[in-house]
Amino acid sequence: MGRLELVVLGLTCCLAAVSAAKLGAVYTEGGFVEGVNKKLGLLGDSVDIFRGIPFAAPTKALENPQRHPGWQGTLKAKEFKKRCLQATITQDDTYGDEDCLYLNIWVPQGRKQVSQGLPVMVWIYGGAFLMGAGHGANFRKNYLYDGEEIATRGNVIVVTFNYRVGPLGFLSTGDANLPGNYGLRDQHMAIAWVKRNIAAFGGDPNSITIFGESAGGASVSLQTLSPYNKGLIRRAISQSGVALSPWVIQKNPLFWAKKIAEKVGCPVDNTTRMAKCLKVTDPRALTLAYKMPLAGMEYPMLHYLGFTPVIDGDFIPDDPVNLYANTADIDYIAGTNNMDGHIFASIDMPAINKDKKDVTEEDFYKLVSGLTITKGLAGARSTFDVYTKSWAQDPSQENKKKTVVDFETDILFLVPTEIALAQHRANARSAKTYTYLFSHPSRMPVYPKWVGADHADDIQYVFGKPMATPLGYRNQDRTVSKTMIAYWTNFARTGDPNMGHSAVPTHWDAYTVEKGSYLEITKKMDGSSMKQNLRTSYLRYWTLDYLMLPTVTGDGAAPAPPSGDSEAAPVPPSGDSEAAPVPPSGDSDGAQMPVVVGF
Ligand SMILES: *[C@@H]1O[C@H](CO)[C@@H](O)[C@H](O)[C@H]1NC(C)=O
């Protein structure tokens, strides 16, 4: 830094101090950045907002992120940068940019002097490792992941950032040629940048909380498990997704790498040559070479997620379940929504949302067998029996549809979260552990009345949308939102969601393996909101009875891609021993069978 710049920095500070509390230009490792100061109300409070600060150099396809070389002069950080290159929702085009590793910062300011030593909350977005952006979906400049409400209500700094997704973020040959996990390494670069630079914005580098939802929640979990983040992360919050969720780790990345290579005309028989070729292929073509099927799939949706994190022996050195010693001093909240599986169940079985359509035993058996393939016929049958126990007594369609949702909620979210909590607790030294169940019902008018909190419903409340856009919400929604922001930001500040800047409606007891205490988050919270042992009999089933069943397929079985040809469909049990669910066998590319739930 030149002398002149130092003088400029000094002047900015002093001028800011005498007029009103705002940061002005901030000196970072890359150079000066200047955001905008947004006044709030009449009391003189404000929020400093920085949009689009580079935390790494522009990316090179399928390469690890590199440090940014820095810039001359003052970088105007006033607009969100483009998202990382990804397929549009229709999957026939791309948007975003390869130059995408930017972050955004919200710093709350009081009237008198600029904030100092604030806790920092870094958000990791979800989107199946396939889509998403640090600023989130938006409607007329109202961005989903706008940090302002959390920052100003909780008196914390909020950071959001972009990371690579889809093939560009996660394609791997399963060997040193393309180790994968580029998107995870981007996330780590952002966290490390915050650690090195946030003090200049008034943040406490020793109080960094990472939080995220779905694939973002799983990413949060993976970042706490990776040795690369040692000493960087103080606390973490996983909403509806952990490293142990069955959709997170890709066990056979080469299978999917070959699919892409074939599509874009790269060699498939030699990973050295494949990698070389893929790296010089148009990144748009790589992105479009993978399509997530969204209807008419032979198997549950889970099996078609090709591009997710891998165990690369380095960033993720081992199976995540073996890495929990790395979280011994990281305070952790992990929780789920009471109908997290609803959206996935309705994709797998559209009758769920149609009052006039029925769910049948055959449909459900097919779904169950599609998600219990490693355990073959015995796994499908015992799981089917456990889940349909109530059907004889209550054969109503509502009960059956709820059962399907519970089944997917358990497999995709609840059970892996419970296992992660137990692992975290068992390995904890100084770390505290908390868990919640979010139950404020979905507001989607097209859903049946019985639908509870669907996947991703929690995000709008954490980001304070009911206050930011009051016309779209009811008072009860604002209550839920203020409650969540209070618990979340208290936790970021002290490691205890009950203590900090904001009052909370009731005490949230820490989780223990013995009691399984969890906080149920609803519009009306009091002493009865603390509950115990969420769905223990099902948890016991999955972690004991089911696990004990002999495995009939190898762990390395390849997932089947969408192939659309007439493969034998799994059939319901009919009492004769030949009625085993049949995995796909006729795929011309030599695919074996769908990968399996990780437990
Ligand atoms: C793969 O290709 C590379 C580069 O052309 C070559 O050096 C290597 O021997 C090949 N590996 C195999 C297993 O054929």
In sequence order, the β-bridge partners of residue 102 are 54
Catalytic-role residue among 46, 172, 214, 502: 214
For the CA of 270, the nearest atom of ligand 1 = 1
> Looking at the domain assignment, is residue 466 inside a domain?
yes
The 3-state secondary structure of 379-406 reads HHHHHHHHHCHHHCCCCCHHHHHHHHHH
Q: Could you count the other beta carbons within 10 Å of the beta carbon of residue 585?
A: 11
Per-residue model confidence (pLDDT) at position 303: 87
Q: Is 322 in the pocket of ligand 1 (CB under 6 A)?
A: no
| Token reading at 338 | 């009471």
Substitution candidate for ligand 1 out of 175, 177, 178, 270 with most atoms within 8 A of CB: 270
| Cα pseudo-dihedral 522, 435, 545, 347, rounded to 10 | 50
| Cα pseudo-dihedral 9, 10, 12, 18, rounded to 10 | 160
> Looking at the domain assignment, is residue 307 inside a domain?
yes
For 96, the domain range is 25-356+418-521
Mean pLDDT of the chain: 90
> Looking at the domain assignment, is residue 34 inside a domain?
yes
Q: What is the CATH number of the domain that holds 195?
A: 3.40.50.1820
Query: How large is the average pLDDT for residues 410-428?
Result: 97
- Taking only the tens place, the pLDDT of each residue in 236-248 is 999 999 999 999 9
Q: Out of 6-20, 399-413, 556-570, give the one with best mean pLDDT.
A: 399-413
**Is 340 part of the annotated catalytic residue set?**
yes
> Looking at the domain assignment, is residue 592 inside a domain?
no
In angstroms, the CA 189 to CA 55 distance is 7
Q: How far is the CA of 268 from the centre of ligand 1 (A)?
A: 12
| Token reading at 504 | 């909370």
Q: Which amino acid is at 299?
A: Y
The 3-state secondary structure of 301-359 reads HHHHCCCCCCCCCCCCCCCHHHCHHHHCCCEEEEEEECECCHHHHHHHCHHHHCCCCCC
Indicate the number of domains in the chain.
1
> Looking at the domain assignment, is residue 166 inside a domain?
yes
> Looking at the domain assignment, is residue 397 inside a domain?
no
308, pLDDT greater than 80 = yes
Considering the chain, what percentage of its residues have pLDDT values greater than 70?
89
Q: Is 360 in the pocket of ligand 1 (CB under 6 A)?
A: no
In angstroms, the CA 409 to CA 335 distance is 12
Contacts 24+ apart (CB under 8 A), 447-453: 447/342, 447/353, 448/353, 448/355, 448/398, 448/401, 450/398, 450/401, 450/402, 451/339, 451/342, 451/405, 452/337, 452/338, 452/339, 452/342, 453/337, 453/338, 453/339, 453/340
What are the φ and ψ backbone dihedral angles of 398, each rounded to 5 degrees? -60, -45
Alpha helices by DSSP H, listed for 453-499, are 457-462, 465-468, 475-494
Cβ contact 26:10 at 8 Å:
no
Among the listed ranges 286-300, 336-350, 486-500, which one has the minimum average pLDDT value?
286-300
Q: Which of 49, 8, 53 is nearest to 28 (CA)?
A: 53
Per-residue model confidence (pLDDT) at position 12: 53
Query: How large is the average pLDDT for residues 556-572?
Result: 36
> Looking at the domain assignment, is residue 510 inside a domain?
yes
In sequence order, the β-bridge partners of residue 437 are 336, 520
Eight-class DSSP state of 84: B
**E strand or H helix that includes residue 364:** helix 361-370
Higher-confidence residue: 190 or 552? 190
Per-residue model confidence (pLDDT) at position 4: 52
Q: Is 276 in the pocket of ligand 1 (CB under 6 A)?
A: no
> Looking at the domain assignment, is residue 545 inside a domain?
no
- Residues 6 or more apart whose Cβ sits within 8 Å of residue 96: 82, 83, 84, 85, 86, 133
User: Residue 507: which pLDDT band, with cuts at 50, 70 and 90?
Assistant: very high
Q: How far is the CA of 267 from the centre of ligand 1 (A)?
A: 11
Per-residue model confidence (pLDDT) at position 518: 98
**Is 481 part of the annotated catalytic residue set?**
no
Q: Could you count the other beta carbons within 10 Å of the beta carbon of residue 514?
A: 9
